[in-house]
Amino acid sequence: MTLFLARFLHVRRTELGRTLQVSGFAMVLGWAMYTAFNGTQAIFLDRAGPPAYPLFFVVLALSVWPAIALQSFAIRQLGVARAFRYTLLLNAVIAVPLFVAYRLGESYRVSFVAYVVYSVAFEIVMLQFWTFVSQYFNILEGKRIYPVIAAGSGLGYIFAGAVTSGVARATGGPELLMFVWAAGAAASGLIAYRAERRLYRPPVEDEVDELHADVREAHRRRGVLRSITESLDYLRVSRLVLALVLLGTVLLVVMRVSDYLVAVIFVRSTRNLEELTVLIGNAWMLSYVVQLFLGLWVTPWLLAKAGVKNAILSLPVATLIGFALVAFAPALGPSLFLFVVRNGIQTGVDDPAQNVLGGALPEQVGPRLKVLQENLVLPGSAVLAGVGLLVIGFFFGTASALFLAILGLFVCLAFVVAALWVRSLYVNAIYQRLRAHTLSLSDLELALGRPSAQDVEELKAFIRGDNPELREFAAAALAQLSPDNFRRLAADLARSPDAGLRRLAYQLSPPGGLDRGLIESGAADPDPWVVAAAALAGAGVTPPWVDSRELLGRLYSSGDAGARAAGVWAAASGGGERAWVAESLSDPEPKVRLEAIRSFARLKGQVPGVAAGLLACLEDGNLEVRRAALRQAIRWKPPAAQAAAYAEALLKNLAFGDGGCRRLAGEAIVLQAPSAMERLLELLNAGTPVAVAAIEPLYRSGKAELLRRAAMHIEQHLDTALESAGHAGRLAALARVAGSGAEDFRFAALRVSLEDYQQHSIELALAALRALHEKRGFARVEQALRSGDPESRAEAVETLINFGPARLVEPLVRLVDPESFDGAPARPLSEEEVSRLEAHPDAWVRRAAEAVSGRAGESMKDLIALKKVPLFATLTLEQLNSIDRLMVTRRYHAGEHIFKWGDLSSELYVILEGEVRIHRDDGLQQVTLAKLGPSSVMGEMAPFTDQPRSAGAQATVTTVTRVLRKDRLKAILHEHPEVLLEVIRNLSQRLVVANEQLEAAARSQAEAAEAAPAKRPARTALASRSRSR
């Protein structure tokens, strides 16, 4: 049943639970909000009358804009979830005063103000709802799931229409609908509270998320006007942005005129408030029945056949027809058609098409367009429509239905023209993105639908082009969009010198599209992938080519890894045996294993006997294979017999050295191995990367008991970290008093270990908060928290306090404040304090405390020496220990060469004791470039360049060094990429110094030239006479 439902809704099985819960939430919220919307609208039209609509448009626009700004401020201060809950609570409360106001007197003023208040509340609630929902689905999931959630809202709107009509008939009016609003808002608040704690949050961060976050942060820092001004620049540089802004403006003006026209006819067609309420409820119910039908069944077919380029014309044309019908017969029937069709097509067809339409813009432009839409188009179009209708009413009196219908026709003609302009620019933009390799095949299919003859010729031109990637993409697109045209081109492609095109010719040609001669020619191709595709094509002819299976068998049993990979691919594409996929997961070559995992994914996990091979790939020595296997582990549920081994493999990956593997393993445990969640608690005592990798799935899982235990663990760490930070502050003050180089290595080790533990606790708390709060919002807070700018850090701390929860945030704020422990006294730790530290939860603190007590610690001396090296200064003692084990110690006597100028060497040296002269001695002449002492690094670039030494190094006194070879440095960089960042930082500093020296030399030459201008012609003349001889 679960699998059937997932397929029916076009979502993955692992997403089904979240999808159904959020869709149910959307249904409850939509039912509550639209029921009250119907009631307040009916009272407004009955008491204030349709002529009040133009003024309402203006007031609403001027009210919604500051309300949205206030909502954004609330989200920054409280976080998405808390701000949403408070908004719902306010809605539940405010419904009661509105009901009381209606009971006291439904005057023009009361009905007008109540309708404005409710409309603003409705806009804010729905905006916050979609912001709240975006926490639980990443960008790719959202493309599949948001239409299902929208369908849930649609069902709620349909129920709202039925409830509106029922209550109005039963009570004679819509006033009691306010209590439906209050009850629904309160229930939605409880659902949101439960969802926040029980729904899984995906950890994926997308580039689009980051771009939106950047624009939002700039919007906050620079102010609304400056942000709008910067966004307006895109109107000059992009005609498509200008056209979209114009289209949005005309669309909203058309909507306002349509609302006004329909309101006039609805009021004229009913006798009292009860009839008007029932009519409005039924009209909205019918609209969303149409929207649901279009959204679930018609729109996917329409986009596939007609494409977005044509789908965007459906709303303007349908609205134009609606206005024409009302102009011809201004009665209830045509107005209902205009109302239902316009609303149904807008939400069922045009909104999904507009979402795809934005994909034609570069990623960095989308957020700017959103700024323009929210701050100019939405309020501006409402004001424009309202003021225009008020002016018309001032000069011509109350507008009749016929007059409004004719006005709507003219405005709708502008709507059609704007849509046609967008269509032409959209197609051009799609081809520009195609040329830039920034378009997926599915996006191209949605954009074009069934291609025109011009589109086909455009794709053929790409196939004939010089870019191999673009050629293959265009060929695949032509096969997908126009199989008949591809069939006619397939024979030429099969003879192409490009192996990729030859493969696609056999792979994508329809059954029977290639003759046997071409298939036999492909079977003899030197490229094994072409051979595999030709064998598949041969199996599709009638009668099947008898050599196909034998040919695939030879590929699969070949000694060449590429041929075996091609055989596995063919097995997943309908040829060969599916068992080959399972067997190839154990192939000795990573290339074949990787193709087997990809084939497993294409077959959607329907491969018998795959469990053992996939479990082995989860612990594969090849990082690319391991990551690919973990991506499939997120979607694949193992058989019961392998469940324990599967969970164990995921837990091992959670403790693996690669951050990507840790993140994927955490997600897979939550979704596919919840029984292993208890084991994650054990990993919270591991090193920082592993503990962070364990804490995030625990907090994202929505398991209340596990979350409580994890929170208790972090709180204990934070309490201990506060005490440790106080000790570290005292030791740091003592070191400052003692002076540079005078600090005892044992106290230095204790101080560093305490600081490491402090940072460990900070990272754990941040990981928990990151999992609790909205992705984009908290990412910006975390970035500011880590910045060196005091103002940014202060703002981040304030936001962090508002986000909560207090039990995590309050100690965290003290720990991240660099000044919290600066005033600690320069006093050594007492024996009792050191003794207590020997029972510290962190192993390195315990070891350092034992060293201070004199029981051990000589090994700490080398680690502290490494810690003083800038290259390793950011690493913890545990990380330094893993590096120290890979290094060897070498001693040099005074005058002994460590390496010579021009030597080929790939070793990095760290000076522990002594002094080294860096030189370029030439014969008897000594040229000293620098002298390096303890904690200096030599030859840090040698492992990366394999070039001869650019200078020599000689010990001037007895010198002790630690040496790291190239092969071992690569292992360190893989496990600790922060070391590579330090290398890059050092190189950047050298480049800065070199540039400054070049600039200084250039200035010196220029000054010398200005000081002796008369000598230059003489030298030039002399040179001329020399050349003439």
For residue 901, give both structure tokens: 């100028």
Least confident of 214-218, 596-600, 752-756, 952-956: 214-218
pLDDT, tens digit (0-9, with 9 covering 90-100), for 540-557: 777 878 788 888 899 999
- Return d(Cα 732, Cα 743) in angstroms, integer: 9
Whole-structure pTM value: 0.79
Task: Tell whether the torsion through CA atoms of 364, 369, 372 and 373 is positive or negative.
Answer: negative
- Return d(Cα 811, Cα 807) in angstroms, integer: 7
Residue with tokens 């006039």: 264
For residue 565, give both structure tokens: 């990979």
Look at residue 829 in the predicted model and tell me its pLDDT.
Answer: 86
pLDDT, tens digit (0-9, with 9 covering 90-100), for 494-530: 999 999 999 999 999 887 788 888 888 888 999 999 9
Q: Which has the closest alpha carbon to 213: 766, 767, 773, 779?
A: 779
41 vs 676, more confident: 41
Pinpoint the alpha helices (H) of 603-685.
Answer: 611-617, 623-633, 643-654, 659-672, 677-683
Domains within the chain, CATH numbers bracketed: 1-204 (1.20.1250.20), 212-433 (1.20.1250.20), 709-856 (no CATH), 882-979 (2.60.120.10)
Amino acid at 50: P
The DSSP 8-state label assigned to residue 306 in this structure reads T
- Return d(Cα 952, Cα 964) in angstroms, integer: 18
Least confident of 136-150, 243-257, 460-474: 136-150
CA 217 distance to own-chain centroid:
16
Average pLDDT of the residues in 226-242 = 86
Least confident of 179-183, 301-305, 525-529: 301-305
The yes-or-no verdict on residue 432 having pLDDT over 60 is yes
Look at residue 891 in the predicted model and tell me its pLDDT.
Answer: 94
For residue 475, give both structure tokens: 């060929």
pLDDT, tens digit (0-9, with 9 covering 90-100), for 899-908: 888 887 778 8
Look at residue 1022 in the predicted model and tell me its pLDDT.
Answer: 31
The yes-or-no verdict on residue 475 having pLDDT over 80 is yes
The yes-or-no verdict on residue 685 having pLDDT over 50 is yes
739 vs 805, more confident: 805
Look at residue 203 in the predicted model and tell me its pLDDT.
Answer: 61
Average pLDDT of the residues in 732-758 = 83
User: Contact 905/945 with Cβ under 8 angstroms?
Assistant: no
pLDDT, tens digit (0-9, with 9 covering 90-100), for 991-1002: 777 677 778 777
The yes-or-no verdict on residue 1027 having pLDDT over 50 is no
Strand partners, 908: 964
Look at residue 142 in the predicted model and tell me its pLDDT.
Answer: 75
SS3 806: helix
User: Contact 95/181 with Cβ under 8 angstroms?
Assistant: yes
The yes-or-no verdict on residue 936 having pLDDT over 80 is yes
**Own/partner long-range contacts of 409-413 (Cβ < 8 Å, ≥24 apart):** 409/320, 409/323, 409/324, 409/327, 411/250, 411/253, 411/254, 411/257, 412/254, 412/316, 412/319, 412/320, 412/323, 413/320
Look at residue 73 in the predicted model and tell me its pLDDT.
Answer: 80
- Cα–Cα–Cα angle for 89, 91, 97, nearest 5°? 115
Cα–Cα distance list, 253 to 381, 384, 387 (Å): 6, 7, 11
Residues with Cβ within 8 Å of 122's Cβ and at least 6 positions away in sequence, in order, are: 33, 37
Number of Cβ within a 10 Å radius of residue 578: 18
Least confident of 323-327, 535-539, 685-689, 983-987: 983-987
Helix (H) or strand (E) holding 841: none
The yes-or-no verdict on residue 608 having pLDDT over 80 is yes
The DSSP 8-state label assigned to residue 960 in this structure reads E
- Return d(Cα 462, Cα 545) in angstroms, integer: 32
SS3 593: helix
- Return d(Cα 596, Cα 602) in angstroms, integer: 10
- Return d(Cα 424, Cα 1020) in angstroms, integer: 63
Strand partners, 955: 916
357 vs 149, more confident: 149
Look at residue 1024 in the predicted model and tell me its pLDDT.
Answer: 37
Torsion of CA 844, 845, 846, 847, to 10 degrees: 50
Average pLDDT of the residues in 329-338 = 95
The yes-or-no verdict on residue 1029 having pLDDT over 50 is no
Q: How confident is the model at residue 789 (pLDDT cuts 50, 70, 90)?
A: confident
Look at residue 990 in the predicted model and tell me its pLDDT.
Answer: 64
Q: Which phi and psi (to 5°) does residue 353 adopt?
A: -65, -40
Q: How far apart, in Å, do the first and last CA atoms of the chain sit?
A: 99
% the chain with pLDDT above 70: 92
Instruction: Provide the mean pLDDT of the chain.
Output: 86
Average pLDDT of the residues in 906-915 = 88
- Return d(Cα 408, Cα 412) in angstroms, integer: 6
534 vs 905, more confident: 534
- Return d(Cα 973, Cα 983) in angstroms, integer: 10
The yes-or-no verdict on residue 1025 having pLDDT over 50 is no
Least confident of 195-204, 214-223, 267-276, 960-969: 214-223
Q: How confident is the model at residue 1023 (pLDDT cuts 50, 70, 90)?
A: very low
For residue 536, give both structure tokens: 């598949």
Residues with Cβ within 8 Å of 708's Cβ and at least 6 positions away in sequence, in order, are: none
Pinpoint the alpha helices (H) of 329-467.
Answer: 332-345, 351-357, 366-372, 378-396, 401-435, 441-448, 453-463
